[in-house]
Structure 1
Amino acid sequence: MSVPQPPEPIPGARLLFSLDPAVSYLNHGAFGAAPIAVQRAQQRLRDEMEANPLRFFTQGLVDRIAHTRRHLAGFLGADPEGSSLVGNTTTGVAVVLQSVGLKPGDEVLTTDHGYGAVNLAIQRECRRTGAVNRILPIPLADTDEQIVRAIRTGLRPGRTRLLVIDQLTSVTARLFPTAAIVAVAHEHGVPVLVDAAHAPGMLATTVSSIGADFWAGNLHKWGFAPRGTALLAVAPRWRDRIEPLVVSWEQDAGYPARVEWQGTLDYTSWLAAPAGLFTLRSLGVDRVRGHNAALAAYGQRVVGDALGVPPAQLPDPGGPGVSMRLIPLPAGIATTIEAARALQTRISERLAAEVAVIGWNGRGWLRLAGQVYNTADEYERLAVRLPALLAQR
């Protein structure tokens, strides 16, 4: 089977970013990368804030935040009045966890594909309330039908108080059949929280059609917003119960203002976020998504071939449009979180390449992302040099 051809580069896209040209930045999924125009838009807002802080914070800022939220929610197909801006997906998850009213004996059901910080937030809330976290194993090669069946079997009506699932997993770059899972959970009376950290910008997402009780996604990854920009969408029946992590002067205004307003928070990342969507739209949303998914698939095959991984053993992301791909590392390498972090650092320092190295289920994995600033030769250089580095155990 031949290696798929890389997509045609998008002319001028690399020049939109201030990334170090000496480094192959193949890990957009970690912290994103804000285009230069977005950086400048945020700096202008910071200049405005520092020119007269009192005026900036007290004259119309709540309305400016609401206007921004409506813009971002509209792009994602979410109800603007049922959404709130938050710092990141994990913050949105924490807001939901402390608002649903877990009690002793309740169960939060998750899968073994969950993001580490979200898992820690769930465990902390379970310790605080006396609830328990049950983790459902989902094999990486499972089909959508098998995933839905496993979750249907794993639900315990009357005990499962909340199901937390990923739309696109960070750990394994696997697209889950989110809407189908939500439908099954609702059949059993179980509310669902969707961790959609990687969905905004990457996937053609319409939040309202998913039907989840709670949905949280980052705009600062694939939506080109400044870091610290995410959206939490809440179904109507839950909105009156949503409480912020910190009470502020907008507490009596109800949701979403009580969650969004956090006093002297730097709101410039949120206010500059529409500039990120403008960049994405200027390049062509579908064009960017197609380019990134094709480039990630190319990188997966090139590096996989270099490591001797048969194409049939390269994990399928589970659907089109996914701009991250997973490659299994040789047995015994990066099998723990600590070893994965150490290898990621070695690759960064010795190969001038930023990648994600993940220890999951006793196996080490390499996660590559594709973005408009990446080129095929960056993956090819990694493929040439990585095997020798891995052999230096």
Structure 2
Amino acid sequence: MSVPPPPDPIAGARLLFSLDPAVSHLNHGSFGAVPIVAQRAQQRLRDEMEADPLRFFTQGLVDRVAHARRHLAGFLGADPDGAALTTNATTGVAVVLQSLGLRPGDEVLTTDHGYGAVEFSVHRECRRTGATHRVLPVPLAATAEEIVQLVRSGLRPGRTRLLVVDQLTSATAKLFPVAAIVGVAREHGVSVLVDAAHAPGMLPATVRSIGADFWVGNLHKWGYAPRGTAILAVAPQWRERIEPLVVSWEQEAGFPGRLEWQATADYTPWLSAPVGLYTLRTLGVDQVRAHNAALAAYGQRVLGDALGVPPADLPAPGGPSVAMRIVPLPAGLASTVDAARALQTRIAERLATQVAITSWNGRGWLRLCGQVYNSAEEYDRLAVRLPALLDQR
């Protein structure tokens, strides 16, 4: 079966970024890429801060942060008064975990697709409080209906205190039916934290439509914001219980101010984040989503063909707007975290190509992304050169 043609490029999009043209950047999902216009906006804010630090931090900064939050929350379909800016999704998860008041006998349930740093955070909070952590296996090929049923069967009413579930998984690029999962958990009296690290800018679902107790997503990936920009949305019944990891001068202001104000933190990513969203809107949100998803699908097929993976064995797309795909690596390659990291470094150094190599359930996977600054030729070039590199193991 022939590989379907790639999407037409979005004219001029590559020029909006300052990425090294000698490198193929096929891993947008890890650290994103900031448009030049947002970089310059942030630099102007840094210049303002350094010109008069006392004025910058003490005259109107709280209001400026709130204004940026309202703008970003509106884009995500979140309540601006029920959302707080934070540095990344992992930080938001840690805030929720330490605010819950877990006790011995409580259980935190995650899936085996969860992000590694989030798993570490759950482990730590359970050790600290005496709660337990249980992992629910979800097959890679599970349908949305099957996932919901697995979650339903896995909940332990009266014991499961929190379910942590990814909206789009990092390791496996799998889309979870989070709104349906939230509905099932609510029937059983279980709170839900949605780790939506990859959702803002890529996926169309709004925070309100999902209805989770807690939802946290990064804007510095697919929302083109400077790094260190994320939003934690909290349901009304939880807001006054949310405590920051570090207490500072806005503590008595309540949520969200007590979470956002962290003394001499660098607030310039948050203040310039609306410029990143402006870039996305200028290109056309729907057009960007469709382009990126189609390009990632093209790259998956090209790489799969080069590695001898039949199309039927390539993991099915998570949905029409998912711009990340995975390709199974030959058996024995990248089967551990350390081996995956080593292979990712080799590909970067020898092939001048940035991809993500992950180890999931004892199998190595290559994750690639599609973004407006990418071209079909970059995936074609990797497909030609990668098999020989893998044979050198």
Normalised by the length of structure 1, the TM-score is 1.00
Q: Please state if 1:201 is matched with 2:193.
A: no
Return the offset for 1:4: 1.4
Summarize the alignment of residues 1-393 of structure 1 with structure 2, pairs less than 5 Å apart.
1-393=1-393
The aligned amino acid for 2:133 is: N
**Number of residue pairs the alignment of both structures matches:** 393
SS in 2 for 1:259: helix
Which whole-Å CA distance do the structure 2 matches of 1:18 and 1:252 have between them?
Answer: 42
Return the offset for 1:2: 2.1
The one-character-per-residue Cα deviations of 1:29-53 (angstroms, maximum 9, x if unpaired) are: 0000000100000000000000000
Which whole-Å CA distance do the structure 1 matches of 2:260 and 2:267 have between them?
Answer: 9
Which whole-Å CA distance do the structure 2 matches of 1:307 and 1:2 have between them?
Answer: 15
Which whole-Å CA distance do the structure 2 matches of 1:205 and 1:267 have between them?
Answer: 27
Poorly superposed stretches of 4+, deviation over 3 Å: none
Which whole-Å CA distance do the structure 2 matches of 1:170 and 1:317 have between them?
Answer: 14
The one-character-per-residue Cα deviations of 1:178-224 (angstroms, maximum 9, x if unpaired) are: 10000000000000000000000001121011010000000000000
The one-character-per-residue Cα deviations of 1:67-117 (angstroms, maximum 9, x if unpaired) are: 000000000000000000000000000000000110011100000000000
Task: Give me the CA root mean square deviation.
Answer: 0.4
Which whole-Å CA distance do the structure 2 matches of 1:345 and 1:85 have between them?
Answer: 32
SS in 2 for 1:98: helix
Which whole-Å CA distance do the structure 2 matches of 1:221 and 1:39 have between them?
Answer: 14
Which whole-Å CA distance do the structure 1 matches of 2:197 and 2:98 have between them?
Answer: 19
The aligned amino acid for 2:212 is: A
Return the offset for 1:153: 0.1
Unaligned runs of 5+ in 2: none
Which whole-Å CA distance do the structure 2 matches of 1:97 and 1:144 have between them?
Answer: 27
Return the offset for 1:309: 0.2
Q: What is the percent sequence identity of the aligned residues?
A: 78
Return the offset for 1:319: 1.4
The aligned amino acid for 1:160 is: T
Which whole-Å CA distance do the structure 1 matches of 2:350 and 2:53 have between them?
Answer: 45
SS in 1 for 2:99: coil
Which whole-Å CA distance do the structure 2 matches of 1:357 and 1:309 have between them?
Answer: 17
SS in 2 for 1:383: helix
Which whole-Å CA distance do the structure 1 matches of 2:318 and 2:381 have between them?
Answer: 27
SS in 2 for 1:65: helix
Which whole-Å CA distance do the structure 2 matches of 1:197 and 1:98 have between them?
Answer: 19
The aligned amino acid for 1:63 is: D
Return the offset for 1:366: 0.2
Which whole-Å CA distance do the structure 1 matches of 2:2 and 2:150 have between them?
Answer: 35
Normalised by the length of structure 2, the TM-score is 1.00
Which shows bigger deviation, 158-167 or 312-321? Answer: 312-321
The one-character-per-residue Cα deviations of 1:141-190 (angstroms, maximum 9, x if unpaired) are: 00000000000000000000000000000010000001000000000000
The aligned amino acid for 2:270 is: W
Unaligned runs of 5+ in 1: none
Which whole-Å CA distance do the structure 1 matches of 2:312 and 2:103 have between them?
Answer: 45
The one-character-per-residue Cα deviations of 1:334-366 (angstroms, maximum 9, x if unpaired) are: 000000000000000000000000011010000
Return the offset for 1:316: 1.2
The one-character-per-residue Cα deviations of 1:2-26 (angstroms, maximum 9, x if unpaired) are: 2111000001100000000000000
Return the offset for 1:317: 2.8
Return the offset for 1:231: 0.2
Which whole-Å CA distance do the structure 1 matches of 2:216 and 2:376 have between them?
Answer: 32
Which whole-Å CA distance do the structure 2 matches of 1:184 and 1:312 have between them?
Answer: 31
